[in-house]
Amino acid sequence: MAYKDERVVQIILEEVESLDERCDGYREEIREAVAEILQAERGHRFVKTNVVAKIGDLVGRVGTYLDKQTEKARG
């Protein structure tokens, strides 16, 4: 990975760490989603896949996680 790409990833991860912990595991879930999105984009360079659908699935997964955590908090 080129230095410029590494710096972009570093900045993204720093921003994730500065997010409010809206529920237990929130930052970790976001960090994993970002990592998977970056991997999907990188893989898409070499093998043309439906990266938009994969990212949509990842966003949906995070949304479901947040919804479940919110339900738990409500009681």
| pLDDT number for residue 63 | 92
Q: pLDDT by residue (tens digit) across 1-57?
A: 566 778 888 899 899 999 888 888 889 999 999 888 888 888 887 877 788 898 999
| pLDDT number for residue 72 | 81
| pLDDT number for residue 3 | 65
Domain count for the chain, please give it: 1
* Contacts of the segment 4-7: beta carbons below 8 A, 24+ positions apart: none
Which DSSP helix (H) or strand (E) runs through 75?
none
| pLDDT number for residue 1 | 55
Its domain, for residue 7, covers 3-74
| pLDDT number for residue 60 | 94
Six-digit token string for 38? 């970056």
